[in-house]
Amino acid sequence: MISPMPDVETHTIAETDEFMLIACDGIWNVLTSDAAISFIREQIAEAKAGDKCSKTWLSDIAGQLMEKCMAPDTSGDGTGCDNMTVLIVLLNQDMSKDFQKRKLESEEAPKPKKSKTS
């Protein structure tokens, strides 16, 4: 029988908080909290510096974290072969430039033609 025992913490969000990482044991069996946070911080910094904050950039970073945790094959002890779920939530980020850019890009996209129905 499997009995889930989640780690639950209560934290008041402060202005200095950058993001919240929610992940399942498939991640935590491979990386420490500090290692996962460091990896995500590096990826966010790279995305912002390279102006690579696309519509899916946080999903891309979550995917990179999962790939980092995946075992190259299944011949080991099972570490890196477990199910993996990652959710990254940005907190207190001034992403207004990115949202404005996306808004402009979507406005420039061709609009679908309306069809006439009888």
Per-residue pLDDT 10s for the chain (118 aa) are 566 777 788 989 898 899 999 998 889 889 999 999 999 999 999 988 888 778 888 999 999 999 999 888 878 777 777 788 999 999 876 655 555 565 566 666 666 666 666 4
Residue 73 class from Cβ within 10 Å (0-12 exposed, 13-18 middle, 19+ buried)?
A: exposed
Q: Which two tokens stand for residue 52?
A: 């690579």
Q: Provide the whole-model pTM.
A: 0.68
Residue 18, amino acid: E
Listed residue (98, 3, 17) closest to 55, CA to CA:
98
